[in-house]
Amino acid sequence: MQTKLVFEDAASSASPLLTVFALDQNTEKEGDPKIALLSVSAAVQSAAAAVLTSGEFKGGVAETLLLHNPAGLKAARLLIVGLGKAKSLSTAELRKAGGTAVRFAKPRGIREVAIIFPEGQDLAIEAARSAQAIVEGAVIADFDPDTYKSDRKDQSISTLALFAPSGARAAVETGAAEGELIASAQNFARSLVNEPGNKLTPTVLGLRAAEMARTSGLAAEVYSTEKMKELGMGAFLGVAQGSYEPPALIVLTYTPPSAPTADAPVFGLVGKGITFDTGGISIKPADGMEKMKYDMAGAAAMLGAMQAIAALKPPFKVISVICSCENMPSGRSYKPGDILTSASGKTIEINNTDAEGRLVLADGLWYAKQLGATKLVNAATLTGACAVALGLINAGLFTNDEATSTAFTGAAKIAGEGFWALPSSDEYLQLMKSSIADLMNTSNTRWGGASTAAAFLKEFVGETPWIHLDIAGLAWQDADKPWMPKGPSGFAVRSIVEWVRSAQ
């Protein structure tokens, strides 16, 4: 998709699909909507006036109404996209609206989309943020997961034109450019998650990461079994030993153009990269197991974030550690009852081989600290318990440092991704204590599974400020949305990028 900015009246657009956003200004929960079209173009307002007063269009989020041959406009079609209630408007709704326009166009054979930058009301959203959100939504929406269909028809949008006010030119140019970079990075993460386990082995993930690093200007090192043995990564190796596919320890490093100050943070981004998870000896039920190719979504999120960080060039050093392997049942697999020794020296009693993500992350978090990280974040499709607790609306967030958590949640709000803080206090850690080793890898109770997993991970970060993102419920969409197709979401990429770039 080529994005171009046009600083003139949208009435002059000969686009096959001109899109304008609309708000419901009614402040009451009930009652007839009061629709405001977000355009200062008199011609656009006139073209939509009759239908907006008919009651046919309610202005709900991602609601659409199409007008063919709109009077007074050169465009072949005028698409009105709802943003919901004015009092609730944020960049999240703008992002969804941009995506909705693109998803509306694709199946109809429309390859050029124009969007009118929202104006005419006091939106209280900076122009740069608005432009960023709209472009992000459009680029994200252009992704399709049908990579392996033999009769695949390319429905990609060739051109996205954003008609914007000349008075906000600099801000719109900056926001649109950043939105395109970040959304492209999110789509890179989605493309990785979309790959089946027989195509994206840990070795191939390492190759894909190294190639992205080469083109993005990042330093990359990809290790396997011998290096992991040298580092004493017994937890990671324990999971990996059941597969004939060798593991990959992937390290990407971004170094800022100017030397950071002595007290500047060094960010450590750690991702769970289980390219296929059978559950190991504690094997999963067959129903739905095919989706376990997505168990490397945390790693993909970190790789996507690193691609965007390399392009945006924040003034901080960032190190990403990706722990990738398969979790397979075989005669070589680790077993319930085994004792593994992690790189930190802590010993772990295995009582469920399907709780493997926390084992690879334990060694990954330790290693990120050894490489100099002073702020840590890990992302993982770690527990079904988190999805049970929060549904498919929010991901779980756990921390050992409230200031770091506050900064991250602020960044996530800007990025339009939902996280909800959950506890990981010492009471949960007590449930992970073993009588034969330092820790068990699961508790002996079914309750609080997301929190006990987080408490386990917290044991491997010490006093380093740390955030754990349990994205199990958000990394994969089981159904189409008006602004995004079903399949991999690339969730957490935008929030991680915003957290790093907005750090003080």
Is the model's pLDDT at 244 over the cut of 90?
Answer: yes
Domain boundaries, the chain: 2-165, 183-501
H or E element that contains 45: helix 42-52
| Residue 272 assigned to a binding site | yes
Q: Tell whether the model's pLDDT for residue 261 goes beyond 90.
A: no
Contacts of 118 (CB under 8 A, 6+ apart): 21, 38, 39, 83, 94, 130
Residue 122: its pLDDT value, please? 82
- Annotated ligand binding at 9? The verdict is no
Does the annotation flag 144 for ligand binding?
no
Band (pLDDT 50/70/90 cuts) for residue 209 is very high
Which has the closest alpha carbon to 162: 317, 15, 375, 369? Answer: 15
The one-letter amino acid at 372: G
Q: Catalytic residue at 358?
A: yes
- How many Cβ atoms sit within 10 Å of the Cβ of residue 141? 29
Give the tokens for residue 419. Answer: 């996280």
- pLDDT digit string (tens) for 264-323? 999 999 999 999 999 999 999 999 999 999 999 999 999 999 999 999 999 999 999 999
Share of the chain above pLDDT 90, in %: 94
CA–CA distance, 129 with 131 (Å, rounded to integer): 5
- pLDDT of 295 reads 98
CATH for 183-501 is 3.40.630.10
Mean pLDDT in residue range 460-489: 97
Distances (CA, A) of 340 to 324, 326, 330, 382, 453: 18, 17, 18, 19, 17
Query: Is the four-CA dihedral 161, 162, 164, 170 of positive or negative sign?
Result: negative
- The CATH number given to 2-165 is 3.40.220.10
Q: pLDDT by residue (tens digit) across 114-166? A: 999 999 888 889 999 999 999 999 999 999 999 999 998 888 999 999 999 99
pTM over 0.85? The answer is yes
Residue 153: predicted pLDDT: 84
Alpha helices in 16-80 (DSSP H): 42-52
Question: 10 Å Cβ neighbour count for 427?
Answer: 12
Residue 31 has pLDDT above 70, yes or no: no
Task: List, for residues 412-421, the tens digit of each pLDDT value.
Answer: 999 999 999 9
Q: Using the predicted structure, report yes or no on whether residue 259 has a pLDDT greater than 90.
A: no
Residue 103: C-alpha distances to residues 98, 137, 155, 392 (Å): 9, 10, 10, 21
Q: Strand (E) positions, 137-178?
A: 159-163
Q: What's the rounded mean pLDDT across residues 240-260?
A: 96
Residue 438 is labelled as binding a ligand? no
Mean pLDDT of 222-247: 98
Residue with tokens 């996209």: 81
Residue 192 has pLDDT above 70, yes or no: yes
Q: Which pair of structure tokens corresponds to residue 495?
A: 């929030």
Annotated catalytic residue 74: no
**Residue 239 pLDDT greater than 90, yes or no:** yes
What average pLDDT does this structure show over 388-415? 97
Helix (H) or strand (E) holding 322: strand 317-327
Alpha-carbon distance 127 to 170, whole Å?
9
What is the residue-averaged pLDDT of the chain?
Answer: 96
Annotated active-site residue in 284, 413, 481, 501:
284
pLDDT of residue 30: 67
Mean pLDDT of 459-477: 98
Catalytic-role residue among 77, 103, 208, 358: 358
Query: What's the rounded mean pLDDT across residues 23-44?
Result: 88
- pLDDT for 26: 86
* Beta-sheet strands, E only, within 30-180: 35-37, 64-68, 77-85, 112-116, 159-163
Handedness of CA 187, 188, 189, 191 (dihedral sign): positive
